[in-house]
Structure 1
């Protein structure tokens, strides 16, 4: 007869057997999409130029970055996150 030993590795973590398709997008997916949109807007280059030259960044770029962050936060709080969260209808126009 076998005996179950408690503790250590004996306490297994239940794994989620659902596939990626069944799970849907994650909050990390939304954050990556937000980062991609901010990168494509030219925000980071403008920010570096602001530090290097002292000339303030265009206000519309700062505002766009805030809007993208807000949209990402709102999307990541939805349960479930929509499968089409990457479409432009969820994000501010750049």
Structure 2
């Protein structure tokens, strides 16, 4: 199993527009995009395609990571307001 460093926004940190007005922070779509970016960076989709093509099961750790990312994205998107630092690794599970 290979490990890789997950970087923000495909190597560049994606920025959220911050404005002082209420309701102008990150959206639920921003949280969902962050979850999708982390799932892509983990190699989940490559492993899933390999599973369909060869029949060899994907690692259980990747399946579990997918469930964890979905849970965190759902929990963060329900917060009002969504924290401005929602991309912080403190909120998201680590792939090990």
Same fold (TM over 0.5): yes
Runs of 5+ unmatched residues, structure 2: 1-16
Alignment of 1:18-37 (within 5 A): 21=19, 22=21, 23-37=24-38
Between structures 1 and 2, the one with greater helix share: 1
TM-score for the superposition, normalised by structure 1: 0.78
Equivalenced residue count is: 76
Match of 1:74 in 2: 75
Distance in 1 separating the partners of 2:90 and 2:18: 24
Question: Which consecutive residues of structure 1, in runs of 5 or more, have no partner in the other structure?
Answer: 1-18
Q: Which residue of 2 aligns with 1:88?
A: 89
C-alpha root-mean-square deviation of aligned residues, in Å?
Answer: 1.2
Alignment match, 1:64: 65
CA positional deviation for 1:20: 5.5
- Higher radius of gyration, 1 or 2: 1
